[in-house]
Amino acid sequence: MAGVGIPSVDGLIEKLKRLPGVGEKGARRFAFFILGQPKDWVEDLSRAIREARWSVRPCSVCGGLAEGDLCPICSDPARDREVICVVESQEDCVAMERHRIFNGRYHVLGGRYSPLDGEDIPSEALASLRDRVERGGVQEVILALAPSVEGELTALAVKEALDDLPVKVSRLSSGLPVGGSIGFADSATLKLALEGRRGM
Amino acid sequence: MAGVGIPSVDGLIEKLKRLPGVGEKGARRFAFFILGQPKDWVEDLSRAIREARWSVRPCSVCGGLAEGDLCPICSDPARDREVICVVESQEDCVAMERHRIFNGRYHVLGGRYSPLDGEDIPSEALASLRDRVERGGVQEVILALAPSVEGELTALAVKEALDDLPVKVSRLSSGLPVGGSIGFADSATLKLALEGRRGM
């Protein structure tokens, strides 16, 4: 008998195992926790999962998380239009925001350039970034990409895509720990990296 | 701005934070993973959570996981009726089963006796265990309880509840690592503990 032997529970465990960093034991633990909760709570969890996935879509300008056409940042007139911070994912955008050290706007690539993994930056993301710069008013594009091989390659690809445009392109300084990710950096490290950004 | 700033996503993160061992960062990671999955997959996950919770109920005999009236173990005529293994939770029952070292039946207490935490074994669970023994045919009740203070107290309470009945009560030997749980023991340790069980 693989699993728990109860079809609906085994089905749930199989699903939960797909969550990042969750193995067989973790999934089983989550499943038993869920089975032990009141039905109302479980109903709410089930609905929250659907609702988030259905109501969220990429911001039509920056590709960040939005419930309507624009994300809260792109629709905020107080945010500086002259600086665009380029991040790999919506998650990295949220990580930057959490530290409240940047008042410009974002551009989410939705991918990275990693030839060894066969990954590339979606061409629409680069095209829409060019478009935003070409429309004028953007003084600087800051690349907030991880200090890894893939991050370097991605940074170079973005830099290249903007090479003929009159915009300063900079990159977060290597205050970030090598091999780490934007999402797990602490405020001080991220702030240093933002201040120490270098032209490229 | 606390959270991500998107109501449906923040709602989801709040829910996911309730899962055991999951903090703010873990919940955010799960949420972004879910947002990045195809809608079909998310729909399936949402439904699997509801379905498991709705279709599972305690076995009317042993209190284990069941989709109908009886669990797969209680409805299996090949399982030995003479030995009942008492466990604290349905999860511990599944953990025991996974190792395929026991061919008897189970009794799930659904709680433990821990006066300091104000926890007690549900009296119905003890009553139904007595009932099963009184009906006859049960030679031995094996207590598969964690080797902790609460486990000892729970074992004593179960032993006491059965004291006037003509049944042997034994306990898993202390091959189990102190402070650990039934769920995380390896097969060899559990097997040793089962073989070395002592009368009490």
What are the tens digits of pLDDT across the range A61-112? 999 999 999 999 999 999 999 999 999 999 999 888 888 889 999 999 999 9
CA distance B83 to B134: 13
Give me the residue from A1, A46, A65 closest to B46, CB to CB.
A46
Q: Does the pLDDT value for residue B1 go beyond 50?
A: no
Structure tokens that stand for A200 in this block: 């490229």
Domain assignment present for residue A138? The answer is yes
Structure tokens that stand for A18 in this block: 């797909």
Domain assignment present for residue B2? The answer is no
Mark whether B91 and B140 lie in a shared domain: yes
Q: Does the pLDDT value for residue B78 go beyond 70?
A: yes
CATH classification of the domain holding A171? 3.40.1360.10
Domain assignment present for residue A23? The answer is yes
ipTM: 0.77
A103 part of contact set with chain B, CB < 8 Å: no
Mark whether A92 and A135 lie in a shared domain: yes
- Rounded to a whole number, what is the distance in Å from the CA of A125 to chain B's nearest CA? 16
Mark whether A19 and A73 lie in a shared domain: no
- State mean pLDDT over B30-53: 95
Q: In Å, what is the CA distance from B163 to each residue of B104, B150, B160? A: 21, 20, 5
The whole-number pLDDT of residue A155 equals 93
CA distance A177 to A142: 18
- Rounded to a whole number, what is the distance in Å from the CA of A78 to chain B's nearest CA? 15
Mark whether A166 and A71 lie in a shared domain: yes
Q: Which helix H or strand E contains B84, and what residues bound it?
A: strand B83-87
Number of domains in chain A: 2
- State mean pLDDT over A162-184: 80
Structure tokens that stand for A110 in this block: 């939705």
List chain B residues with CB under 8 Å of A66.
6
Q: Does the pLDDT value for residue B198 go beyond 70?
A: no
CATH classification of the domain holding B48? 1.10.8.420
Mark whether B16 and B65 lie in a shared domain: no
DSSP, collapsed to helix, strand or coil, labels residue B108 as strand
Q: Does the pLDDT value for residue B174 go beyond 50?
A: yes
pLDDT in tens, B120-151: 999 999 999 999 999 989 999 999 998 778 88
- State mean pLDDT over B177-194: 74
Mark whether A116 and A175 lie in a shared domain: yes
Give me the residue from B5, B19, B35 closest to A53, CB to CB.
B35
CA distance B200 to B155: 9
Segments forming the whole domain that contains residue A102: 60-199
Angle at A98 between CA A21 and CA A178, to 5 degrees: 55
Mark whether B40 and B75 lie in a shared domain: no
Judged by average pLDDT, the poorest of A11-15, B87-91, B191-195 is B191-195
Domain assignment present for residue A136? The answer is yes
Mark whether B12 and B68 lie in a shared domain: no
Mark whether A44 and A76 lie in a shared domain: no
Domain assignment present for residue A64? The answer is yes
Q: Which residue of A has its CA nearest to B99?
A: A1
Q: Residue-wise over B102-111: b if at least 16 C-beta within 10 A, else e?
A: bebbbbbbbe
Domain assignment present for residue B83? The answer is yes
The whole-number pLDDT of residue A198 equals 66
Mark whether A126 and A107 lie in a shared domain: yes
- State mean pLDDT over A157-169: 94
Mark whether A192 and A154 lie in a shared domain: yes
The fraction of chain A above a pLDDT of 90, given in percent, is: 70
Selection from A97, A59, A64, A84 nearest residue A182 by Cα: A97
A25 to B94: CB separation less than 8 angstroms, yes or no: no
Give me the residue from A39, A48, A91 closest to B15, CB to CB.
A48
The whole-number pLDDT of residue B182 equals 73
A154 part of contact set with chain B, CB < 8 Å: no
B59 vs A174: which has the higher pLDDT: B59
Mark whether B16 and B74 lie in a shared domain: no
Give me the residue from B8, B41, B56 closest to A51, CB to CB.
B8
- Cβ contacts of B53 within 8 Å, gap of 6 or more: A34, A35, A37, A39, A42
Domain assignment present for residue A1? The answer is no
Task: Give me the amino acid identity at B102.
Answer: F
Q: Which residue of B has its CA nearest to A5?
A: B72
B130 part of contact set with chain A, CB < 8 Å: no
Q: Which residue of B has its CA nearest to A67?
A: B6
